[in-house]
A and B are shown apart, each in its own frame.
Chain A
């Protein structure tokens, strides 16, 4: 009987342990957030049209613009809810831009990039065989900008790849650094650290870095990259400080847990010393 009782107690304890495990399993929850692009009359009609009238819709759906709720009317104008007058030029529709109009078209929302582009060798060659925004970024399947846009296949369409290769190399290190800091900041944010100031500082440096993308002067790119790396180094130090505080807390935590177990043992022994 007593044996049964002991094994039952053990079963209960196992159940409790199992419950605790379950408890741990069910509390790790991943989440993510994404916005849905609003439905427009443009996609409703064009999606079912053939060839070059219809393909932009499918391309756009895969773009970073679609991911962020930017629809046809954001670039081409017109009323996205009024099917009858959506393409009326007198009501704001601007149609597809010709080659020299492309930079201005994109520059309405990306004015900083437009400024950098126009100041660069690429911008100065606009209309004379030089590239426009869509040459490298595409027009409807615009993806999140990355260093991969600078590649041999794309650049050698017009000239040799050496200068571009040098620029890309200079920027690759910085890009990796920025991504690493971004990852660490997100990690801290997800555990309650107030990363506002750090996040904003990284944002500023990232923007400064991105303006380099459209500057095709190798020397300037190299110099700016070094400066940005220094600023990122400072962010690194800030993050390191946070990490150190965290580690310190963990050590204190370890001591606390150990002390509690020690006290539990002492109390238990004291209890046993009574009849």
Chain B
């Protein structure tokens, strides 16, 4: 019966051909490893965030007077409201964490190098957009934590010369964080940023499919092949393993392991991401002590605290981000094996340790 349906569809759109091209006939390198499945894990996380986000939007009220109460309602009165909300909150943190792991594996395996510069660029843009969507979402509950963390975060823009203070006002929709801030942050969070992220994911996947997936540099004696084509050609992997069912199942395994970790956090450590201040309604007249941003912004926060001039702190961070964004154009050597790129490895390990150090320092300071 199912076969008859499949035949009916195939006659009209050539489904068999698509399945052959994209699934069963799409060959991946034999030496592909688990790290390559992080991309599909991210897709699942994003989908879950959109789903839980839409469910939350049904009951959440984006008005400064009612936002906190609506979330208290969701957490306490609505059946399984607590589950939806916690999935969304934990999911956002997991998205940033998995995204960092994905970036890390790309860096280590040198998959950002030619001909994949565009992939890296779209990925980097996705990284900044995900940071943005996390920042805007943080304000939604309108708790003491939301309110003051947003105040601290938007304040940092004031160090920019000339336009700084105006930029802060523009971001906040006023001199201080208030109802106008909630309005614009909400619009960014539920409309503009998700659409932008979805579009960039589309571009990212298209580039990946069009260029062809990279081969892991491990177990290969020749990892220093310069890319000097005369015209476009797809990087195929003849004799490789088919995406479906082989690597699709690997993707599924990784997704299930992710869910195990994710659900463990949701059910057993939901408070990992909530301080007591997250359950006190925002009071614009009382700043709590020890307000800090979320863990993924602690390094930025600490950097600003180190430099006596806030402008210098911002500049250093902008430089670091620019360097990261333009990495494929700075690091042009064709060598991809990490142990054969001592300079890169030193910089990468150094950079990661620095980031970790700043994050831990930011937490305890």
Contact of B271 among A8, A33, A191, A274 (CB under 8 A): A191
**Nearest opposing residue in chain B for A264, CB measure:** B256
B339 contacts A by Cβ under 8 Å = yes
User: How far apart are the CA atoms of A267 and B105 in the complex, in Å?
Assistant: 23
Across chains A and B, the number of contacting residue pairs, with CB separation under 8 Å, is 143
Q: Contact between A31 and B275 (Cβ–Cβ < 8 Å)? A: yes
Give the interface residue-count category, chain B: 35 or more
Contact A29-B292, Cβ < 8 Å, known A1-B219, A5-B218, A261-B257: yes
B239 contacts A by Cβ under 8 Å = no
Contact A250-B218, Cβ < 8 Å, known A27-B272, A261-B257: no
**Contact partners of A267 in chain B: CB under 8 A:** 249, 252-253, 256
Q: Tell me, rounded to whole Å, the shortest Cβ–Cβ distance linking A182 to chain B.
A: 14
Q: Tell me, rounded to whole Å, the shortest Cβ–Cβ distance linking B185 to chain A.
A: 21
Q: Contact between A192 and B289 (Cβ–Cβ < 8 Å)? A: no
Instruction: Choose the segment among B130-138, B167-175, B203-211, B356-364 that binds chain A (4+ C-beta atoms closer than 8 Å).
Output: B356-364
Q: Contact between A194 and B76 (Cβ–Cβ < 8 Å)? A: yes
A208 contacts B by Cβ under 8 Å = no
**Contact partners of A264 in chain B: CB under 8 A:** 253, 256-257, 260
Determine the main DSSP class of A at the interface with B: helix
User: How far apart are the CA atoms of A1 and B270 in the complex, in Å?
Assistant: 43
Q: Contact between B339 and A253 (Cβ–Cβ < 8 Å)? A: no
**Nearest opposing residue in chain B for A9, CB measure:** B33
Contact of B101 among A19, A192, A263 (CB under 8 A): A19
**Contact partners of A4 in chain B: CB under 8 A:** 218, 339
**Contact partners of A30 in chain B: CB under 8 A:** 275, 290
Number of residues of chain A lying within 8 A (CB) of chain B: 48
Q: Contact between A2 and B257 (Cβ–Cβ < 8 Å)? A: no
Contact of A194 among B72, B97, B253 (CB under 8 A): B72
Determine the main DSSP class of B at the interface with A: helix
**Contact partners of B82 in chain A: CB under 8 A:** 192
Residue of B216, B267, B359 ringed by the most chain A CB atoms within 10 A? B267
Q: Tell me, rounded to whole Å, the shortest Cβ–Cβ distance linking A197 to chain B.
A: 10
Q: Tell me, rounded to whole Å, the shortest Cβ–Cβ distance linking B4 to chain A.
A: 27
**Contact partners of B259 in chain A: CB under 8 A:** 260
User: How far apart are the CA atoms of A19 and B97 in the complex, in Å?
Assistant: 9
Q: When A and B form their complex, which 9 residue pairs have the shortest distance between CB atoms, in order from nearest?
A: A253-B267, A5-B218, A264-B256, A271-B249, A260-B260, A194-B76, A190-B276, A33-B288, A26-B363
Apart from A29-B275, A30-B275, A264-B260, what 6 extra A-B contacts exist at CB < 8 Å?
A8-B339, A28-B272, A33-B144, A189-B276, A190-B276, A260-B260
Q: B-contacting residues of A (Cβ < 8 Å)?
A: 1-2, 4-5, 8-9, 12, 15-16, 19-20, 22-35, 186, 189-194, 249-250, 252-254, 256-257, 260-261, 263-264, 267-268, 270-271, 274
